[in-house]
Amino acid sequence: MLHVTNARWRFGAVALIAVAAINLSGCGVNNIPTKEAEAKQKMGDLQAAYQRRADLIPNLVSTVKGYAAQEKSVLVEVTQARASATSVKLDASTISDPAQFQKFQQAQNNLSGVLGRLMVIQEKYPELKSDQNFMALQSQLEGTENRINISRRDYNEAVTAYNLTLVTFPSVFWAKTLYSAEKPMQLFEATAQAQTAPTVNFDAATPAAPAAKP
């Protein structure tokens, strides 16, 4: 009889735990870690795209240098911007750190700007535009930039969803209790530098036309 009673008690306890788990799930207790994991995954995708761009730059600089070594200042700027961008890292802790996140975003935006200057060099050197290696690298860079834009958008959407779980009912209850250490993640913001293509004029100054003789 005692054995049967213990068995019933254990069964009842298991059932109670199962019901409690279902109820908790319905109350949004899993929303915060789920949305957090999704946002971090999107950040990983974006980092991979940024790394892909960084990997393309050395070959791109080398190819351009073969035709336009005299554009040394631009080539140096690109190399330095790449070094700066790859030295600033984001991880699970720093995507919630406004200062570190801003530093990362600025470094990437700066690289985007100087890359734009590098790419317009081809307008001054027609032979560069006919180089198959350059054209292939340019195509890969354009594809990577598109991937970066898409990944930034996906990351921002995932972070917005995560941040909302910290302030909206019912998950806000868990944000104040079980997940009180969680902080909002930072969003990428579009900048004028990132959205405006750089203007570079490589044309030599045009001499003034001689005055017409009277």
Count the Cβ atoms, other than its own, within 10 Å of residue 8.
Answer: 10
Q: How far apart are CA 52 and CA 17, in angstroms?
A: 47
Instruction: From 194, 37, 3, select the one nearest 116 (Cα to Cα).
Output: 194
| Angstrom distance (rounded) from CA 144 to CA 209 | 45
Distance separating alpha carbons of residues 214 and 212, to the nearest angstrom: 6
The SS3 call for residue 97 is: coil
**CA distance linking residue 7 with residue 28, whole number of Å:** 32
The answer to whether the CB of 161 falls within 8 A of the CB of 38 is yes
- pLDDT of the residue at 146: 97
Q: What is the pLDDT of residue 76?
A: 96
* pLDDT value for 199: 39
What pLDDT is stored for residue 161 in this prediction?
Answer: 97
| pLDDT of res. 206 | 35
Token look-up 């990362």 returns 104
- Alpha helices in 166-199, H assignment, sequence order: 171-176, 192-195
> How confident is the model at residue 19, as a pLDDT?
39
The model's pTM is 0.77
Name the DSSP class of 45.
H
Tell me which residues of the chain have a pLDDT lower than 70: 1-27, 191-214
Query: Residue 189 in 3-state DSSP?
Result: coil
